[in-house]
Amino acid sequence: MKDVLDDLKEVVVEKPVDVIIRQIKELLISGQLKPGDKLPPERKLSEKFGVGRTHVREAIQKLEFYGILKTKPQSGTYVAGIGISALEGLISDILKIDAYSFMSLVETRVLLETSAVALAAERRTEADIEKLELSLNNYLAKAKQGIKAVDEDLMFHLTIAEVSKNQVLKSLLLIIIPDIISNYSVFKVCDTITDKALNEHTLLFQQIKEGDAAGAQATMKEHLQGVMDFAKMIVQ
Amino acid sequence: MKDVLDDLKEVVVEKPVDVIIRQIKELLISGQLKPGDKLPPERKLSEKFGVGRTHVREAIQKLEFYGILKTKPQSGTYVAGIGISALEGLISDILKIDAYSFMSLVETRVLLETSAVALAAERRTEADIEKLELSLNNYLAKAKQGIKAVDEDLMFHLTIAEVSKNQVLKSLLLIIIPDIISNYSVFKVCDTITDKALNEHTLLFQQIKEGDAAGAQATMKEHLQGVMDFAKMIVQ
DNA sequence: AAATCAAAATTGGACGACCAATTTTCAAGT
DNA sequence: ACTTGAAAATTGGTCGTCCAATTTTGATTT
């Protein structure tokens, strides 16, 4: 009885915020709004769209977060100076940001992490090595008991990104990691902890410590190969 | 007269939202809030922090956007199930998200773009080639007249990301591009259009068209080397 | 004692009104 | 005709209030 109802309720209701973003997008694409232009005041927009000003503000905040709009207090909201054609892609990306394919996610993760680990091996300090060791031991402690240690696993990988001294790289990983986690649980990946993974983590740590950038990169690639294969398998 | 005043005004006022995010961060790090826990209601928080509920909501929205919190209507706001240690880093990233070093930005851009162009060369279709050619011609038309064509330049690069068929890769580039643009204008990079850049764009297109992944990757690396050198030069 | 269900309290969501800073307007002065 | 400056209008920011859905409570029934 519950299953049927659950399935039926899966219709996605387009939220007011998404509708407004779409509307603003139309204004931009149609050329009625060009980079540098001032948007109509929030009151006019809410009136025109037939929604409360709260929704308009929320939409503007979201677009501002992505650098599309820039609002100056007591003055107005302005279109940032990026090509209009680029905006179209960006906005649609915001709307379907949760709909990335697992394949693209994994592919990008591999890319980011192999680069990060190489940089980490080149740039690590003594303090970094301690942090990494701590993180590694956290993971090993749980994993050796056969307990699932997804968080600790990811934390070790994030620490590597931290050690790479590239803030952007780390932030981008942080952005895609929630998506990876949700997909992991959906597809029931990583239910078993292999000795292989354990050894690879330890090896990774050693190679970073020794400054072996190329070796660490190779190990990371190998380490993520399993996930990569799985992704290729279930590709839609 | 104006210069002096401008310089003096550069003190950064910590906005209420940032203060709240920092406070919530304290709750998380100190262990008073664990993943899965329910946050105090917005009213209590605003009362405790001595600010309006609007600010609390804004902070929660921002944290929700990064996947740290999850709010269920008419029920409460909950801490998402990611390791607490990760949260610390993530939250500090949100606060200083506008303070990326130019170096990290460029480094990451090179990384993403060299990967994207290789994938593009492997996966391009006939339609993709047409899109790329259109984008290339847009750029060439402006650039050959000696007009600055920053937008068209970036659009060509974005189109390559599009052709790579990796949504995540493209989205990540879209995220860092506004930052790159703002830094470009700050440091007055790219004021001159070189024949070298023109030829490299054309070569890039040819190599993608011919499916020469390795070649395209090398060209892209070379193409971005100038920016990379400049970044290394001004490194703080 | 356990289960049920309705009333009350709680909570996030949305709206309207007010605030302070900015921008615009326009009249007075040069 | 141009400049100046103050008043008026506009605008994003903030707060208090109300709303609808959920959760909790507790009395009633079995």
Say whether residue A141 is in contact with chain B using an 8 A CB cutoff: no
- Looking at residue A168, what is its pLDDT? 76
Q: Which residue of A has its CA nearest to B174?
A: A90
Residue B36 DSSP SS3: coil
What is the per-residue pLDDT across A73-94, written as a single tens digit (0 to 9) for each? 888 998 865 444 444 444 455 4
C-alpha angle A78/B162/A21, rounded to 5°? 35
Looking at mean pLDDT, say which of A198-202, A229-233, B102-106 comes out highest: A198-202
Nucleotide D9 C1' to residue A106 CA (A): 54
- Looking at residue B192, what is its pLDDT? 53
Say whether residue A89 is in contact with chain B using an 8 A CB cutoff: yes
Q: Which of B21, B14, B78 is nearest to B49 (CA)?
A: B21
- Looking at residue B36, what is its pLDDT? 78
Residue B85 has pLDDT above 50, yes or no: no
Say whether residue B95 is in contact with chain A using an 8 A CB cutoff: no
| Phi (first) and psi of residue A79, to 5 degrees | -80, 125
Say whether residue A228 is in contact with chain B using an 8 A CB cutoff: no
- Taking an 8 Å cut-off on Cβ atoms, the answer to whether A82 and B181 are in contact is yes
Nucleotide D26 C1' to residue B111 CA (A): 63
- Chain B residues inside the 8 Å CB shell of A151: 81-83, 86
- Looking at residue A29, what is its pLDDT? 64
Looking at mean pLDDT, say which of A230-234, B41-45, B211-215 comes out highest: B211-215
Q: Which of A89, A101, A135 sits opposite B162 (nearest CB)?
A: A89
In chain B the beta strands, taken as DSSP E runs, fall at: 69-72, 76-79
- Looking at residue A236, what is its pLDDT? 44
Closest approach of chain B CAs to the CA of A80, in angstroms?
A: 9
Average the pLDDT over each of A66-75, A211-220, B1-10, B151-160 and give the range with the smallest value.
B1-10
Q: For residues B159 and B15, what is the distance between their CA atoms, to the nearest angstrom?
A: 37
Say whether residue B60 is in contact with chain A using an 8 A CB cutoff: no
Distances (CA, A) of B71 to A56, B47, B79, B202: 20, 19, 9, 49
Q: Which residue of A has its CA nearest to B181?
A: A82
Closest approach of chain B CAs to the CA of A223, in angstroms?
A: 19
What is the per-residue pLDDT across B132-174, written as a single tens digit (0 to 9) for each? 998 899 888 888 887 767 767 888 888 899 899 887 788 778 6
| Band (A186; pLDDT cuts 50, 70, 90) | low
- ipTM strictly over 0.85? no
Residues in chain A: 236
Nucleotide C30 C1' to residue A92 CA (A): 57
- Looking at residue A205, what is its pLDDT? 97
- Taking an 8 Å cut-off on Cβ atoms, the answer to whether A93 and B167 are in contact is yes
- Taking an 8 Å cut-off on Cβ atoms, the answer to whether A111 and B107 are in contact is no
| Contact between residue B178 and residue B225 where contact means Cβ atoms under 8 Å apart | no
Give me Rg for the CA atoms of chain A. Answer: 23
- Taking an 8 Å cut-off on Cβ atoms, the answer to whether B177 and A105 are in contact is no
- Looking at residue B236, what is its pLDDT? 43
Q: For residues A209 and A99, what is the distance between their CA atoms, to the nearest angstrom?
A: 38
Query: Average pLDDT, stretch A94-106?
Result: 61
Nucleotide D2 C1' to residue A38 CA (A): 29
Q: What string of H, E and C letters represents the secondary structure of chain A?
A: CHHHHHHHCCCCCCCHHHHHHHHHHHHHHCCCCCCCCECCCHHHHHHHHCCCHHHHHHHHHHHHHCCCEEEECCCEEEECCCCHHHHHHHHHHHHCHHHCCHHHHHHHHHHHHHHHHHHHHHHCCHHHHHHHHHHHHHHHHHHCCCCCCHHHHHHHHHHHHHHCCCHHHHHHHHHHHHHHHHHHHHHCCCCCCCHHHHHHHHHHHHHHHHCCHHHHHHHHHHHHHHHHHHHHHCCC
Say whether residue A107 is in contact with chain B using an 8 A CB cutoff: yes
Give, rounded to a whole angstrom, the gap between the first and last alpha carbons of chain A: 30
